Structure 1
Amino acid sequence: MCRLLGWSADRPVTVAEVIGDAALARLRDLACVHAQGWGMAWYVEGDDELHTHRSTMAAMEDPEFEQFTTGMPVRRGLLHLRMATPGLGLTEQDTHPFVADGLAFAHNGAIFPQDRLDVLLPPGAPAPAGSTDSERYFARLRDALGNKRGGAAVARAAGRVMSRIRWHELTTSSLNALLLAGDEVHLISLHEPGKEPEGVQLWPSDVTTPPPYLDLSLMTGDGFSVVASSGIFGDETPVIPVDSASVVTLGKDGRVARTSAITEGIVRPLRRSA
């Protein structure tokens, strides 16, 4: 289980600028329990190269976290705090974001059983570098996307991943994810509403009334938009809840470019024929 943060702006901005001091403080606090690494992917002004950084340190203990969130203005990017699923690796290869084919990807969720995760891999796919379900989810998502990158294509691809999971009788409560794809940031909201992860501490001890863990939200400002996991924004920030089974796409101008419904694998789960 993890925390996700994605943003796009019409000008270079730091993470601190787009989410505010209170939300940044909550993000640091969340790293107390989401402590198995963190990472970012981003684009800078006038540069088409996708930049990434991954660390196996807890964000609250890593001096570079402060540098990246308060001192590095970028146009669009994503940030991930990792709470590793028991049984999966803790190396840099297991740390989000994963990068391939010009895309960066971060996931919040878990897919079981772990000994059958390779059924998610497309035929002929190279062996994953790490052990995670998330890296395999990303491989199947890329295969379903092909050369397409728009929000509607991402919604179709996410639905096909869910169909694949159900076809092979795997289980998941959340395929929530962020995909950074060139000029756009896509938030995949795909989880079981009301479902709460069990058997793990999700929140810092001083959070007495936690929000639903898998919920996602959208916040818009002057020339920028932000999508985030629960627990990052507080009552001081007006946010819009993001429906499950949808993809919210942030354009390079900092606005919401479109919202696309995910239908495949949701309305009519696939079944093996007799």
Structure 2
Amino acid sequence: MCRLLGWSSDRPVTVAEVLGAPALDRLRELAAVHAHGCGMAWYAEGDDRLHAHRSTLAAGDDGDFEQFVHEAPTRRGLLHLRLATPGLGLDVTDTHPFVAGGMAFAHNGAIFPQDKIDLLLPPGAAEPEGSTDSERYFARLRSNIGRKEGGAAVARAAGRVLSRVRWHGMSAASLNALLLTPRELHLISLHDPEAEPAEVQVWPADYATHPPYLDLSMLQRDGLSVVASSGILREETGVSRVDAASVVTMDDHGGVARVSQIPQRITAPLRQSA
């Protein structure tokens, strides 16, 4: 499984400023376990270009990652720590975020069986660069969104991805994802809240307690909105749990513009995944 972090601010901020020291320390601890690559995508002040960086290195070993965290102020962005699904590739083309159509996408979850994941691709889709279900999920999501914008459109599109998964006899306990567009950041919270990873280490060995793995959290303060996978925002004041079948849409001014319900929920059992 993977860890997700997303933010929107009314002013340029670094990831270190977004999180604060305690949460940044927890992110680093999680990166030692979610160590099969890291990546980020962002918009900088006064620059309409979508920037992205992907690495097969663990975050703690990637100097570009550390430099970004401390020295790159952004208005909106996302960050991903990868713990790869067994059976999928470890090349940079398998590393999140995936970028296409002016959007960036990062996923936490897995879709099984792996020999069916190409069925997620929409008609006429380009050949995927990598081996992951996540890249194919992104292709189907983009196709479902089409020319529409906003959180409601993303929620409907995510629900249709889940329908596609079920239609072809596949399963997924988590389609949690972040989608960064030119004007918004969308957190897709779509998972089975009762599921927990099995037969794979997802927490540092010295963690005595931990929250439900697939839960997503949100924090709003002072012109800043932050969303994160569990284990990152744990003790900060004002953290709330995100509904397990919803899309949280953050605008480009640091606010939550909308929370949209996804018309379907996941209740499938979790299989070994990453």
Q: TM-score, normalization: structure 2?
A: 0.96
Identical positions, percent: 69
Which consecutive residues of structure 1, in runs of 5 or more, have no partner in the other structure?
A: 270-274
Aligned partner of 2:199 in structure 1 is 199
Once the two structures are TM-superposed, the CA of residue 170 in structure 1 deviates from its matched residue by: 0.2
Aligned partner of 1:11 in structure 2 is 11
Q: Which moved more, 1:228-237 or 1:65-74?
A: 228-237
Aligned partner of 1:143 in structure 2 is 143
Measured against aligned partners, the alpha-carbon deviations of 1:86-117 in whole angstroms (never above 9, x if no partner) come to 00000000000000000000000000000111
Cα distance in 2 for residues equivalent to 1:260 and 1:236: 25
Aligned partner of 1:37 in structure 2 is 37
Aligned partner of 1:272 in structure 2 is none
**1:159 aligns to what SS in structure 2?**
helix
Measured against aligned partners, the alpha-carbon deviations of 1:188-227 in whole angstroms (never above 9, x if no partner) come to 0000011001110010011110110000010011111000
Query: Is 1:243 matched with 2:249?
Result: no
Cα distance in 2 for residues equivalent to 1:194 and 1:215: 9
**2:20 aligns to what SS in structure 1?**
helix
Contact 1:29 1:60 in 2 (8 A): no
Contact 1:189 1:246 in 2 (8 A): yes
Aligned partner of 1:84 in structure 2 is 84
Cα distance in 2 for residues equivalent to 1:126 and 1:43: 26
Equivalences for 1:51-62 in 2 at 5 Å?
51-62=51-62
**2:247 aligns to what SS in structure 1?**
strand
Letter paired with 1:213: Y
Letter paired with 1:36: H
Once the two structures are TM-superposed, the CA of residue 60 in structure 1 deviates from its matched residue by: 1.1
**1:99 aligns to what SS in structure 2?**
strand
Measured against aligned partners, the alpha-carbon deviations of 1:107-166 in whole angstroms (never above 9, x if no partner) come to 000000001110000011111000000000000000000011210000000000000000
**2:93 aligns to what SS in structure 1?**
helix
Cα distance in 1 for residues equivalent to 2:16 and 2:265: 36
Aligned partner of 1:46 in structure 2 is 46
Contact 2:192 2:265 in 1 (8 A): no
Q: TM-score, normalization: structure 1?
A: 0.96
Measured against aligned partners, the alpha-carbon deviations of 1:164-188 in whole angstroms (never above 9, x if no partner) come to 0000010000000000011110000
Letter paired with 2:14: T
Aligned partner of 1:258 in structure 2 is 258
**2:212 aligns to what SS in structure 1?**
coil
Cα distance in 2 for residues equivalent to 1:208 and 1:60: 22
Cα distance in 2 for residues equivalent to 1:20 and 1:237: 12
Letter paired with 2:21: D
Which consecutive residues of structure 2, in runs of 5 or more, have no partner in the other structure?
A: 269-274
**2:231 aligns to what SS in structure 1?**
coil
Letter paired with 1:52: A
Letter paired with 2:49: E
Question: Structure 1 segments of 4 or more deviating over 2 A?
Answer: none
Aligned partner of 1:175 in structure 2 is 175
Cα distance in 2 for residues equivalent to 1:57 and 1:238: 33
Aligned partner of 1:234 in structure 2 is 234
* Alignment RMSD (CA, Å): 1.2
